[in-house]
């Protein structure tokens, strides 16, 4: 087993580092989404219900579901999140 561990030490360290980085980035992403939710709620308070509905339909940045998810995160509610890659991700270091 020791021989196997010696062969894998650098790979295991890279796995650990990448996992830690992914956790940090996910947390940062959730914090940004919460901020978006705060801003949407602020906008909702400035607009009539009809104007806000129009904005939700035509804002061009995020759909209703994304906006509702950001608002829910902002309120501390549980939200189901689906992650997907828009394009292939390549690590140019290797």
Q: Is the pLDDT assigned to residue 94 strictly greater than 50?
A: no
What whole-number distance in Å separates Cα of residue 60 and Cα of residue 46?
19
pTM of the model: 0.72
pLDDT value of residue 81: 80
Q: What is the mean pLDDT of residues 35-62?
A: 94
Give me the torsion for CA of 22, 27, 32, 33, rounded to 10°.
100
């Amino acid at each position: 087993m020791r021989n196997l561990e010696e062969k894998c030490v650098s790979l295991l360290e890279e796995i650990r580092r990448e996992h830690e980085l992914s956790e940090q980035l996910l947390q940062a992403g959730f914090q940004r989404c919460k901020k978006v939710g705060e801003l949407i709620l602020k906008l909702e308070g400035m607009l009539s219900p009809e104007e806000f509905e129009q904005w939700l339909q035509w804002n061009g940045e995020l759909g209703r579901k994304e906006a509702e998810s950001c608002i829910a995160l902002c309120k501390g509610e549980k939200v189901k999140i689906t992650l997907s890659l828009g394009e292939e991700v390549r690590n140019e270091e290797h």
